[in-house]
Each structure stands twice: as C-alpha cells, then as structure tokens.
Chains A and B, each alone.
Chain A
Amino acid sequence: MKLFARLRSIPISYRMPLIVALLLIAVSAAISEGVLERLSRTQERFLDGLAQTYLDGLSSAVLPAVLRDDVWEVFDALDRSASSYGAMAPLETIVTGADGRVLAASDPGKIAAYSELPDGFVGRYGPGLVTIDEASMTGFTRRELVYQGLPIGTIHATFDVSHLFAERREILITLLVTNGVLAAFFSLGGFLLVKRMIGPMRVLESHMRAAANGTAEPILPGEFPSRDPEVASLFRGYNALVHAERERADLAMRLAEEEKVASLGRLASGMAHEINNPLGGLFNALDTLQKHGSTPVVRATAINLIERGLQGIREVVEAALATYRPERAARPLSATDLEDVRLLLKPELRRCRQRLAWTIAWDDQDELPIKSGPVRQAVLNLLLNASAVTAEGGEIGLAAHVSSGQLSLEVHDQGPGFPGDIAGILIDDDPGPAVRAGCGLGLWMVRRVVDDLGGQVTIVEKPEGGTVVTLILPLSGEERQADAA
C-alpha cells in the first residue's frame, strides 16, 4: 500500500510509462518462467530419451560380454559407444559384473578393471531415469543388466549436461534482452503518448494558475486541439466559466457601486440632517445677535450657542472625513474612531428612535495596533445592519474589549435573526454563493475586513430575541511592539 501511495505521488507522465514497464516486466517474468519450465521439461524428456537409447544400445552390446566376464569386449563396446553417442556426451561409463566389481570403465586409467566400484556411485541416483547434479553439471543414470530374469551386472553412466544449462542460460538471456527492449520501447512510447495527451491539460493548468492569481483569461481558439473533441469541450467549458466569472465580477462591482452610492446617500442625508439641526439654532442665534447683540449677556449666550452649533457641525464633518479618507484608514485604532462611528450613526438612530448601548473597555491603551479604517467601516456596517433589523424604539449596542492580544467587538440587535444564507456571508468558508445571489453586500464588506485582518466571526441568537455578532480580530504584534518602543 505504501508503494502504491508512492506510485500515485509520481507525475502521470512518468507514472504511466512506469506502470507499463512494470506490467511488461511482470508479464515477461511470467512468460519467461513458463518458457524455462517448458524448456526444462523438454530437456528432461530429451535427456531421458537419450539416456534410454544410450543404455539400450550399450546394454545390448555389452550383455553377452558381461555374461562371459569378457573385460575386453565390454571395454571395446564402451570405447566405440563414446563416439557413437556424441549427443549424449558420456563422460564416464562403468560396467560392473554380477559380483559388483568393475568389468571395464570407459577410462580404465581412472577406474581399473576388476576393482571395486568406487564409493558414491551407488548412492548418487535419484528416483528418475536421469539424476542431474547441477553443481558439477553432470547427469547420472544406470541400468541393471538382466539375463533370463537374473541380474548379471550394471551399467553406470555419467554424462555432461552443461550444454543443457548453457541452452537454458542462453534462452533466459534472450528472453531478458527481448523483454527488456520491449519494456523500454513501450515505456518510451507510453511516456510520449501521455506527454502528448496531457499537453492540453498543461494549457488548462497554466490558465487556471493565472486565474488564481487574478487574471482569468479565456483559452484562445489557436490553443484548441484540432483533433481532440473531448479536450476542446473541456476548454470551451473553461472559457464559459471564465466568462461567467467575469460577468459576475462586473455585476458585483456594479452592485457594490450602487450600494456605495446608496449608503453614501443615506449618510449624506444623515449628515445634512445633523448639520441642518444646529443650523436652525445658529440662525436663531444670529437673529438674536442682530436684534439684541448690544446686550452683553444675550450676545455671550448667542455666541456660545453659535460656537456649540458649529462645533457639532465640525464633529460630523470630521467623522465623515475620518471614515472616508483613505490616508487615515491605516492609522491605529483609537476610542475616537469608535466615537466617530457613534456620531455617524446618530442621525439614523434618531430617525428610528432607537437606543444605543455603548461599552468600550479599552484598558489603558489609547491606540490599538490594528488598522482603524477597516474596523470603523466594519463596525459601522454591522451597527447600520443592526439598526435596520431592529424595530423602531428598540435597542442596539456595541461592546468592545481587548483581551490576550485580540480585539473583540460585539454588536447586538433585537432583530428576528439572520436568514441562513445571509449568515453564511459572515461565517461560511466560502461566502461566494450568498454574495453571488446579490444580497448582503454590507455584510460581505465586513467579511472581507475580517478576512483581511485574519479574524473570525461568530453569530449567536439570544434566547430573549435578537442576535449577537462577534468579531474577534487579532492585534498585530509588530505594531504593538512599535507602540511599546
């Protein structure tokens, strides 16, 4: 299984030829085994036949001589048979008489006539006609000489079988070389074929990589394989995907623009309202000053009124500036930023006659090492959303605190809770489906802020009604250290 897993980790353009080669090796091993087995059996039969013929011929030649104990005739028969049975390649043949003594051997200089049969000759035979000793590459066989039912002697023959082993070795080498060449040939063919087959996949792969890096380009018609309808179909599918993605991105951008314009309109009208409110007081104060400006008490009161009214206007304008001017967005977060949010929210709350519960537990730090712009934007969006879902006269709230390197921002409302797909924008791994459905763009911006800052979101339904959305945002270490320094 380990091997299988390792095999799977090899790229397909190498894996395929490797599998082909392994298969061929397995097949050729099986075939070689079969061929050698068959050859071995054929050789054994051949050898048995040769031995049988040799013994038949020799026994009929020596039998009368053995009967007479005629040493010369036995030797003469052995001597002549050596040249007559060349295919048998007899190395040594010994004929013994009824008493077991040697009558004659093919090499009398080695085994003398009338001597005892050397030890080892009797025990060297196996059950078959021919016994093979692979170490010495010799074969042994024997034949009892029987005359009128009585044993009168024995022929012991030793012959050379090295040519059989040589033949086996030669065939094995031929098989190995042939199968090796075939395996190499087919592997190379497999490699080239797979390379050719996965060529279009590489085109697709490079386009997908480019898409992952943000530039999804359709595959050009020139890159389409002319004779592979399946790959062409795959390419067309990819191109359709790219086009669909582009349309969706365009749509999302348009929607975002619209949302931006809409929220801008809401904020602008809120700001106009906020500025308009003191304006009435300011004009009254101006009128008072014009009529009763000579009276010091009245003048002081009127000027004081004008000052406070202008201060209120300045705060609103500054809050708007802080929220929407990009160069301010990278500043560390401070309590003032959240106060700006509160200020921006005020007209909407007033319009809906809603209360705002506001808890900022900041420890002693004035500023937190986290980008203020995105956080303000996220909190504002969440609070606007909470206001939108909470009934008139209800209560929404923000609770912010810092603990163990994390900023926790809790926004609660008294709304009916998030529908599943809307909640998904905040908490699912892939917020795509809900976003693509074109809803909850404000929440999607929150999600993007959270993802950018490496935080996470939880949504909890309160038992008494309403929902708590909690953003957990990690505080950046370097910025904290920089602050400490």
Chain B
Amino acid sequence: MEGQIHWRRASLSRRQFSLGAAMAVLALPNASAQADDDTFRFGLTPVFLTSDLELLNHLRSYLSVKVGGPVELVMRRTYQEITALLVSGQLHSAWICGYPYVQYRDSLDLVATPSWQGEPLYQSYLIVPSDRAVEDWLDLRGDIHAFSDPDSNSGLLVTRTLLAEHGMMPDQFFARHFFTYGHRNVIRAVASRLAHSGSVDGYVWEVMRETEPSLVADTRVVRRSEWLGFPPVAAPKSFTGDPRLVRLEEALVSMAGDPDGLKVLELLRLDGFVAAEPSLFDSIAAKVETVRRFG
C-alpha cells in the first residue's frame, strides 16, 4: 500500500516540481535521514549505468579510500528523489543532472564535472527504431514518445525546449508520451517499438553501443542537440567547507591517475573529472527559461 501512495505522490509532483513535494518524498520510510553518523552519503541518479554492480563496488571502494571512512552510495528510481535528498542535506554529495542543478543552483555547489571525449559536454539524442524511415525530427509528430525522466536535461528538457522553440507543447506534438526513468529504458522502449521515438542521453547511447550493441543497433539517431554541460557532481551549500567534500573533489579530479579510479572511469567510458564553472550550465539554464516562458 505504501508503494501505491508513493506512486501517486510521485506522479503528482512530477508535473510541478517543488521543494515541498520533495519534502513529501522525504517523509517516506526509505528516505529517512541518517546524516548524523559518520557515513559519507553519495547519491547517484539513474543518469547512467547504475545497474552495474561491478562499477558500484569499484566506485564505493575508491571513494571510501579517498574520502576516508565509510561511503554509502544512495540510489533512487527518479532524479527527483535524489535531488530532494541532496537539496535537503540528507546526502553529502550526488551525481545529478544539469537540469536539477540549474534549478537548485542557489542551494548547490559544483564539486566536479565528468569529462567525456575530452570535454565536460554531452548531447541529447532523438532516437527512433533503426528501420524507421524518418530523416527530420519534425516527422516525429504524432508519435508515442519515450522520455527519460521529468528532471532530465537530455531526456526531456532539450526536446521540450526544441518543441517550445517551435511553439508546441509535448502533448500537442506527440500523440502520447511516457517516462521510463532511465536512459537505458528509453533505448529499450524504442528498440522494442513500445515508443515510436525517444529522448535520450547521447553519452549513454554511445556507451551502450559498446556495452549492449545488439540493443542499441535496433535504434537510430534522428537528431543530435548542441553540446551541453555534462551531468555534474554537486553538494549542498550547507556542507560547504566539509573536509570530506574537499577530499571528494580531489578524489574525482585525480581519478584518472589512480589504478582503482581508472577502473571506474573505464567502466564509465569517461576521461576523468574536471572542476568546471557553473557557467558551463548556462545553456541548460537558458532552456529552462525558454520552457518556463512558453508555459
């Protein structure tokens, strides 16, 4: 029953995200705060391959050594839950998407930003089943469309902004749309033809081309967005000055120089982490503004 209530509330708050709604999520038993012990709590969004237990084990052990003391990796189904935990200070740090970061930029500090293919940037892709004959994204009108997450930049915001720039709401352009709460799920939905098209993180799509080529081969990219700030690692301003956050930043930035860290980066197909400026996410902020103005 708790699950049902949980879903209903999540469904409500998805449309109109607010801190109040986030607090409601926090009231759930699973999200009970444990900030008063020594465990360093690091949140992970389903932005990428969170199902990879090997990756999680390597990341946990690397961070434990570098940060000093036990590290708990906290995962939730949606971005929103992680964001809420982070903003409310129940997480010391989290790897979140650029979209929630710009929404809560006032409450969050950037710790580090991953670097992929030499830049802390990535793209959003519009994908379709590989045998579907469309060339232009405008041909996707009337589709059943799969979004990743209501708080995802690449999995919603980019496409929504594109539509807003053309004077349309998703409900007007697409016949139907749904959220899969994971970029991998968007690829699955499109590959299985549950959705006619999907909005997906370009980095995830490219990495999965190597890790799950048979799945990704069933999809094709119709449109690539401009390059945008890669989902960063952020921390609540309330923890500013916490030595563990300093050690975390150091651990992330120097990850490429450490054998264990290199293992994590190899699994993530990342070059490393860089200390980026908040201005990296201005383009995403501009999209948020565009969408806000359009309604």
Collect the chain A residues with CB atoms within 8 Å of residue B227's CB: none
What is the count of residue pairs linking A and B with beta-carbon distances less than 8 angstroms?
45
Collect the chain B residues with CB atoms within 8 Å of residue A113's CB: 144, 176, 194-195
Asked if residues B4 and A71 are in contact (CB atoms below 8 Å), the reply is no
Collect the chain B residues with CB atoms within 8 Å of residue A114's CB: 144, 175-176
* Any A CB within 8 A of the CB of B99: no
Interface string of B185-200 (1 = CB under 8 A from A): 1001100111100000
The residue on A at minimum CB distance from B4 is A64
The residue on A at minimum CB distance from B188 is A79
Q: With A64-B7, A67-B7, A79-B188 in contact, is A109–B176 under 8 Å at CB?
A: no
The residue on B at minimum CB distance from A114 is B176
Q: With A109-B192, A109-B193 in contact, is A76–B4 under 8 Å at CB?
A: no
Assembly CA distance A61 to B180 (angstroms): 16
Asked if residues A75 and B194 are in contact (CB atoms below 8 Å), the reply is yes
* Any A CB within 8 A of the CB of B108: no
Assembly CA distance A108 to B215 (angstroms): 15
Assembly CA distance A113 to B144 (angstroms): 8
* Any A CB within 8 A of the CB of B51: no
Q: Which residues 92-122 of B sit at the A interface, judged by CB distance below 8 A?
A: none
Asked if residues A72 and B189 are in contact (CB atoms below 8 Å), the reply is yes
* Any B CB within 8 A of the CB of A188: no
* Any A CB within 8 A of the CB of B181: yes
* Any B CB within 8 A of the CB of A104: yes
Assembly CA distance A67 to B6 (angstroms): 12
Q: With A64-B3, A109-B193, A113-B144 in contact, is A71–B185 under 8 Å at CB?
A: no
- From A67, A76, A104, A112, contact of B185 by CB (8 A): A76
* Any B CB within 8 A of the CB of A144: no
Assembly CA distance A109 to B180 (angstroms): 18
Asked if residues B192 and A108 are in contact (CB atoms below 8 Å), the reply is yes
* Any B CB within 8 A of the CB of A45: no
Q: Which residues 45-67 of A sit at the B interface, judged by CB distance below 8 A?
A: 64, 67
- From A72, A79, A109, contact of B178 by CB (8 A): A72
Asked if residues A72 and B3 are in contact (CB atoms below 8 Å), the reply is no
Collect the chain B residues with CB atoms within 8 Å of residue A112's CB: 144, 193
* Any B CB within 8 A of the CB of A68: yes
Assembly CA distance A70 to B78 (angstroms): 14
Which one of A75, A109, A112, A114 has the highest number of Cβ atoms from chain B below 10 Å of its Cβ? Answer: A75
The residue on A at minimum CB distance from B8 is A68
Assembly CA distance A76 to B8 (angstroms): 19
Asked if residues A108 and B194 are in contact (CB atoms below 8 Å), the reply is yes
* Any A CB within 8 A of the CB of B11: yes
Asked if residues A72 and B144 are in contact (CB atoms below 8 Å), the reply is no
- From A67, A70, A108, A109, contact of B4 by CB (8 A): A67
Q: Which residues 102-128 of A sit at the B interface, judged by CB distance below 8 A?
A: 104, 107-109, 112-114
Asked if residues A75 and B3 are in contact (CB atoms below 8 Å), the reply is no
- From A68, A79, A108, contact of B11 by CB (8 A): A68
* Any A CB within 8 A of the CB of B146: yes
Q: Which residues 217-276 of B sit at the A interface, judged by CB distance below 8 A?
A: none
Asked if residues B180 and A72 are in contact (CB atoms below 8 Å), the reply is yes
Asked if residues A72 and B185 are in contact (CB atoms below 8 Å), the reply is yes
A contacts with B, residue count (CB < 8 A): 16
Assembly CA distance A403 to B50 (angstroms): 129
The residue on B at minimum CB distance from A105 is B194
Collect the chain A residues with CB atoms within 8 Å of residue B8's CB: 68
Asked if residues B192 and A75 are in contact (CB atoms below 8 Å), the reply is yes
- From B3, B7, B193, B194, contact of A71 by CB (8 A): B194
Min Cβ gap B185→A in Å is: 6
Asked if residues A68 and B194 are in contact (CB atoms below 8 Å), the reply is no
* Any A CB within 8 A of the CB of B179: yes
- From B11, B175, B179, contact of A72 by CB (8 A): B179
The residue on A at minimum CB distance from B194 is A108
Collect the chain A residues with CB atoms within 8 Å of residue B194's CB: 71-72, 75, 104, 108, 113
- From B4, B175, B179, B192, contact of A79 by CB (8 A): B192
Min Cβ gap A397→B in Å is: 126
Assembly CA distance A199 to B144 (angstroms): 89
Asked if residues B7 and A75 are in contact (CB atoms below 8 Å), the reply is no
Min Cβ gap B239→A in Å is: 34
The residue on B at minimum CB distance from A72 is B180
Min Cβ gap A468→B in Å is: 118
Interface string of B145-168 (1 = CB under 8 A from A): 010000000000000000000000
Collect the chain B residues with CB atoms within 8 Å of residue A108's CB: 192-194
The residue on B at minimum CB distance from A76 is B185
Collect the chain A residues with CB atoms within 8 Å of residue B11's CB: 68
Min Cβ gap A15→B in Å is: 69
Which one of B3, B178, B180 has the highest number of Cβ atoms from chain A below 10 Å of its Cβ? Answer: B178
Assembly CA distance A72 to B177 (angstroms): 10
Asked if residues A71 and B178 are in contact (CB atoms below 8 Å), the reply is yes
Min Cβ gap B170→A in Å is: 15
Asked if residues A72 and B181 are in contact (CB atoms below 8 Å), the reply is yes
The residue on B at minimum CB distance from A115 is B144
Assembly CA distance A64 to B10 (angstroms): 12
Asked if residues A75 and B189 are in contact (CB atoms below 8 Å), the reply is yes
Assembly CA distance A76 to B193 (angstroms): 13
Collect the chain B residues with CB atoms within 8 Å of residue A70's CB: 178
Assembly CA distance A72 to B187 (angstroms): 12
Interface string of A63-90 (1 = CB under 8 A from B): 0100110111001100100000000000
The residue on B at minimum CB distance from A106 is B192
Asked if residues A72 and B146 are in contact (CB atoms below 8 Å), the reply is yes
Assembly CA distance A68 to B189 (angstroms): 18
Collect the chain A residues with CB atoms within 8 Å of residue B185's CB: 72, 76
The residue on A at minimum CB distance from B179 is A72
Collect the chain A residues with CB atoms within 8 Å of residue B192's CB: 75, 79, 107-109
The residue on B at minimum CB distance from A148 is B4
Q: Which residues 450-480 of A sit at the B interface, judged by CB distance below 8 A?
A: none
Collect the chain A residues with CB atoms within 8 Å of residue B189's CB: 72, 75
Min Cβ gap A413→B in Å is: 123
Assembly CA distance A64 to B8 (angstroms): 9
Which one of B3, B4, B8, B194 has the highest number of Cβ atoms from chain A below 10 Å of its Cβ? Answer: B194
Min Cβ gap B1→A in Å is: 10
Collect the chain A residues with CB atoms within 8 Å of residue B193's CB: 108-109, 112
Assembly CA distance A76 to B182 (angstroms): 12
Q: Which residues of A contact B (CB under 8 A)?
A: 64, 67-68, 70-72, 75-76, 79, 104, 107-109, 112-114
Extra contacts besides A72-B180, A113-B144 (10): CB < 8 Å: A68-B7, A71-B178, A72-B146, A72-B181, A72-B189, A76-B180, A108-B192, A108-B193, A108-B194, A109-B193
14 contacts between A and B (CB under 8 A): A64-B3, A68-B7, A68-B8, A71-B194, A72-B179, A75-B192, A76-B185, A76-B188, A79-B188, A104-B194, A109-B192, A112-B193, A113-B176, A114-B176
